[in-house]
Amino acid sequence: TIDLGFAPLPLGDVQASVVDVPGHEAFVKNMLAGATGIDVALLVIAADEGVMPQTEEHLAIVELLGVRRGVPVVTKRDLVDDEWLALVRTEVAARLKTSRVRWEPPLAVSALTGQGLDELRAALAGLAGDLPERPEADLFRLPIDRVFAVAGAGTVVTGSTWSGTVAVGDSVRVLPLDREVRVRSIEVHGEAAERAVPGRRTALALVGVDKEEIERGHVAVTGPGWVATTT
């Protein structure tokens, strides 16, 4: 993976979103953009390789961003025998014991055979039910991880809403561009919505700014001294 990937993940009554971030050191900026605003980290480690330098880099970034919960996932379990897999799981658990993130026990999975995936979904569903709600009454914050143009909609930005809410017709400010723009339309988890709320994958179609003026890493906000007003 060299860029961000996104997919919905239904977890019972919770609609989660998965953000796939690149592992290579050359794409750390993309990883940072994708990890901003997440509630739970999935630290993916290949069973045939174990803890690698990029594992340490991503662990440091997750801690820097203040992510509180996580699940270490040992993938490709079909490529190793049980003895080797046990050694890797022990290595991962020992390394994460000193982390500031509260990690679940390592789970071994195989995308090829499907082994362990039900256990992973169950672990994520349990974490989702135990997470504190992000404040809707707070100021709106949307770290931007994608920017593109859509015919009829104009400039579209996407990200994971960090806090607060915004509605169609409201105004937000794009930083550090320091441009006030209007929200023409909203999609949440790929569905049209009248309002964006915290903890959801959000797309905002913006009026008053060109695609070329916004970059990954910019933020759409409301802030002290002015309020978003519906027109």
pLDDT mean across residues, the chain: 86
Residue with tokens 């960090």: 162
| One-letter identity of residue 33 | A
Say if residue 214's pLDDT is above 90: yes
More confident residue, 30 or 199: 199
Sequence-separated (6 or more) residues with CB below 8 Å from residue 114: none
Please provide the distance, in angstroms rounded to a whole number, between the alpha carbons at the two ends of the chain.
41
| pLDDT confidence of residue 31 | 52
CA–CA gap between residue 143 and residue 36 (Å, rounded): 7
Say if residue 193's pLDDT is above 90: yes
| pLDDT confidence of residue 228 | 45
Q: Is 42 helix (H, G, I), strand (E, B) or coil?
A: strand
| pLDDT confidence of residue 27 | 45
Say if residue 88's pLDDT is above 90: yes
CA–CA gap between residue 173 and residue 226 (Å, rounded): 10
Q: Which of the residue ranges 32-41, 112-121, 191-200, 202-211 would you say has the lowest mean pLDDT?
A: 32-41
CA–CA gap between residue 163 and residue 161 (Å, rounded): 6
- The strand pairing partners of 213, in sequence order, are none
What would the two tokens of residue 144 be? Answer: 């931007």
Contact 77, 45 (CB under 8 A): no
More confident residue, 35 or 106: 106
What would the two tokens of residue 135 be? Answer: 């404040």
Does pTM top 0.75 for this prediction? no
CA distances from 63 to 36, 68, 84, 103, 208 (A): 11, 8, 28, 11, 36
